[in-house]
Amino acid sequence: MWGKALDKSLRQLIKEGQLHLHMPDGSVQTYGPPDDSPVHLYLHDESLPRKILMNPDMAVGEAYMDGTLTIGNDDLHGFLGTVLRNRGAGHTSTALKLNAMLRQMIRHLQQYNPVGRAQQNVAHHYDLSAQLYDLFLDEDRQYSCAYFRTPSDTLEQAQAQKKEHIAKKLRIEPGMKVLDIGCGWGGMGLTLAREYGAQVLGVTLSAEQHKIATARAAEAGLADRVQFRLTDYRKVQGQFDRIVSVGMFEHVGLPHYREYFRHVRDFLTEDGIALIHTIGRSDPPGSTSPWVQKYIFPGGYAPAMSEVMKAVEKERLYATDVEVWRLHYAYTLRHWYDRFTARQDEAAALYDERFCRMWRYYLAASEMTFRLRQQVVFQFQLTRQQDAVPLTRDYMA
């Protein structure tokens, strides 16, 4: 019964590319037109057809982690690319439609992130071993989308260009007070202090990030200009000339958007500038993959621009510049994937093989989503006054 239902679902979905499905009983079904690079998917557990139909994203991700689902030549990008290309082209199935409806119904509950829960969610991902992130990040530990002037840029080049691009939008001058919301391991704050003369306060909910960022400030001789606090941004007091937030808004949660931008407005001086850098979607509001929710980013969500701007407008902020980055994160994620797989033996020594399969799946799925679905990066420049920035964008050049 479940095998026939899965067969019907895949015939509805796969119209581009070719997928060969090898069932646990040894039978093989083929979906899609002939292709020079068909994907071979192997199911090794008889319960998988039912699980995949009931909760596709969760079941496929978990089965890959557990080894009960394997891919010919471990071609994760090929398999995920085939599925996402079809979904991006509008092909779907009854099972996928029902699953999407259920996810929409509970998305507000999943994204409810009050102070205590927000810290638990952050710890789930960012308090992993620091050695893990050393395996694949650049030297400055930038764990967000890099800015590629050309696809051939190195990861180190692109991450430095990202920080420079943001600094230009912020129009930072020596002595300005800067609040870095979600400061990570401190790279952005240290750069703004060292290269632009800013006085920076960075806040994070990750104990590991706070420890490393504080040590980096001391080692760089910048402890008098950069301070990092282990606290929720909602507990910060005072006003700042500039606010920067890179890769943190994805963790805010839809029920808290107005609260977030209300704090941004209150933190800004009258002529201040904020730059919010976040993953987003260029299609209508949606929901987060349940597999990502459980294993990677609990409480996370990549918003549609309409969801962000609705909150911005209600909190009386001017959107003085909005920029959309398209393939930049796909390039970034491919660098991370290649670096991680080259050193996955070290990752297995830190955790185990199942963790490595999870991490590969996460990086590959994220990359292919940016390449083939409506995933993008938004940069919102926000002010309290219309004339806080020049009339033209020439200053960003």
Contact 7, 30 (CB under 8 A): no
User: What's the pLDDT score for residue 199?
Assistant: 98
d(CA 165, CA 255): 30
pLDDT tens digits for range 273-313: 999 999 999 999 998 999 999 999 988 999 999 999 999 99
User: What's the pLDDT score for residue 397?
Assistant: 84
Contact 222, 250 (CB under 8 A): no
Closest C-alpha to 314, from 268, 378, 382: 382
Q: Could you please report the per-residue DSSP string of 345-380?
A: HHHHHHS-HHHHHHHHHHHHHHHHHHHHSSEEEEEE
Domain 115-396 sits in which CATH superfamily? Vaccinia Virus protein VP39 (3.40.50.150)
Tokens of 194: 């060292």
User: What's the pLDDT score for residue 333?
Assistant: 98
Residues whose CB falls within 8 Å of the CB of residue 127, separated by 6 or more in sequence, listed in order: 206, 207, 208, 209
Residue 327's φ and ψ, nearest 5 degrees, are -90, 0
pLDDT tens digits for range 348-365: 999 999 999 999 999 999
3-state secondary structure of 174: coil
- Provide the b/e sequence for 136-161 (b: ≥16 CB within 10 Å): bbbebbbbbbbbbeeeebebebbbbb
- Every domain range in the chain assigned CATH 3.40.50.150: 115-396
Sheet with 226-230: strands ordered across: 226-230, 199-204, 177-181, 240-246, 268-281, 375-383, 318-325
Residues whose CB falls within 8 Å of the CB of residue 235, separated by 6 or more in sequence, listed in order: 115
d(CA 75, CA 256): 39
3-state secondary structure of 32: coil
Q: Write out the chain's pLDDT in tens, 397 residues.
A: 788 999 999 999 999 999 999 999 999 999 999 999 999 999 999 999 999 999 999 999 999 999 999 999 999 999 999 999 999 888 987 777 777 776 766 666 666 666 666 677 666 777 788 999 999 999 999 999 999 999 999 999 999 999 999 999 999 999 999 999 999 999 999 999 999 999 999 999 999 999 999 999 999 999 999 999 999 999 999 999 999 999 999 999 999 999 999 999 999 999 999 999 999 999 999 989 999 999 999 889 999 999 999 999 999 999 999 999 999 999 999 999 999 999 999 999 999 999 999 999 999 999 999 999 989 999 999 999 999 999 999 998 8
pLDDT tens digits for range 158-203: 999 999 999 999 999 999 999 999 999 999 999 999 999 999 999 9
Strand partners, 274: 243, 382
Beta strands 268-281; 240-246: pairing state: parallel
User: What's the pLDDT score for residue 116?
Assistant: 66
Look up the pTM and report it. 0.94
Beta strands 69-71; 177-181: pairing state: unpaired
